[in-house]
Amino acid sequence: MSRSLLLALCDVQGQLFELSAECGYDSESFIKAYMTSQVSADMDKEFHHVQWAGKAYILSRMEDEVADRLSKGGEVYDRDVLHWIGYIYRYWNLHTGESSREIHRMVPAKVMRVAYPMYHTMGPEMAIDRLKETHSRSRK
């Protein structure tokens, strides 16, 4: 798959995370539900039709699958933060092959939110390397 198509997948996931804010979903619960869902596992595959279905369809599939894990009325992150988190999580999967579930286990949404001001201006690979370093240090 070409680099531009891979980056488009990252952008779609960033847009999906932004859409969660428009719907009023609590950001931490939305991100955890998504990153541990079958929908996200399908996004991790080399090719799956959901990758190209668009943010509204992906959200609809997710709502069908994990409605009991989504909540409204909690804290909703800033749209820029959400887009970055979604983008970086997908880039991470494409860059390392680690699953969405594993990536979220290492670096959950609340850590990503704290990292955003420091890392959002870095290239994706550098940001991922730093996030992985932080995770490694926290396990010692």
Rounded to 10°, the helix 124-138/79-96 angle is 80
- Could you list the residue range(s) of the whole structural domain that residue 18 is in? 3-138
Q: Has residue 64 got a pLDDT over 90?
A: yes
- SS3 call for 109: helix
Average the pLDDT over 22-31 and give the result.
Answer: 97
pLDDT class for 4, splitting at 50, 70, 90? Answer: confident
Residues with Cβ within 8 Å of 77's Cβ and at least 6 positions away in sequence, in order, are 21, 27, 85, 109, 113
Give the Å distances, CA to CA, from 19 to 25, 36, 44, 60, 95: 9, 18, 20, 11, 24
- Letter string b/e over residues 84-106, b meaning 16 or more CB atoms within 10 A of that residue's CB: bbbbbbbbbbbeeebebeebbeb
Identify which of 87, 82, 89, 33 has the alpha carbon closest to the alpha carbon of residue 62.
33
From CA 139, how far away is CA 46, in angstroms rounded?
Answer: 30
Which pLDDT tens digit goes with each residue over 65-106?
Answer: 999 999 998 999 999 999 999 999 999 999 999 999 999 999
In this prediction the pTM is: 0.94
What's the domain count of the chain?
A: 1
